Structure 1
């Protein structure tokens, strides 16, 4: 089994919570993640995300049920912008990012840029 960096697992947990119809338990969430991470690992990630106020939790018997507490799109966009802001070559980063988009992602990006005010080329 290949280990993912904690940041990647946090992102996967947040995405799984965003896709959930309601609050989910650690065990339910674990079943939605690729690679079957250990229950304790998922639980640790959830506790960290709760401490960061990215998820909320409610007690359900002896366990907690978790729900996303932030807008996933805003969270991911903020992370992307933060990484871009600290890059020594932001244009190079954006160029590399665009080259790795799927055709559908590229179409979506073009549509979004077309909707924005200003000249985008």
Structure 2
């Protein structure tokens, strides 16, 4: 799976942060705090994300309302899974990944493994 492009990532970050269905205008207002963007640019990116399956939309009046299909964490997990799949020795790659965890990340992993039943 490919990472989002720069503007796609900014749009998704905005939608995840708002945590509610949003309009193109909502996202544009948030994104314009840090850069100058056209409404049509944001609308095109959100339509692309919808077509890629990352956003769902429904008509509200004359405009669409958008929301994320998956959480930020689910997206991150897909990226991690995709990266792991590129290795010819996935076990070794996973060991290298684990060796680079910070103590806080290692503790979070330990806690997560306590709640996940064995396969």
Q: Determine the C-alpha separation between the residues in 2 that align with 1:103 and 1:88.
A: 28
Deviations 1:48-76 (A, max 9, x none): 11112221123345432211123443333
1:39-118 matched pairs, under 5 angstroms: 39=38, 40-88=40-88, 90=90, 91-92=92-93, 95-96=96-97, 99=100, 101=101, 103-117=103-117
- The answer to whether the Cα contact below 8 Å between 1:12 and 1:33 also exists between their aligned partners in 2 is no
Q: Point out where structure 2 has 5 or more consecutive residues left out of the alignment.
A: none
Runs of 4+ in 1 over 6 A off after TM superposition: none
Is the 2:21–2:65 Cα contact (8 Å) retained in structure 1? Answer: yes
Query: How far apart in 2 are the matches of 1:105 and 1:65?
Result: 36
- Alignment-derived partner of residue 27 in structure 1: 25
With the length of structure 2 as denominator, give the TM-score of the two structures. Answer: 0.63
RMSD: 3.4
Q: 1:9 to 1:84 in 2, by over 3 A?
A: farther
* Structure 1: gaps (5+ residues): none
| TM-score normalised to structure 1 length | 0.62
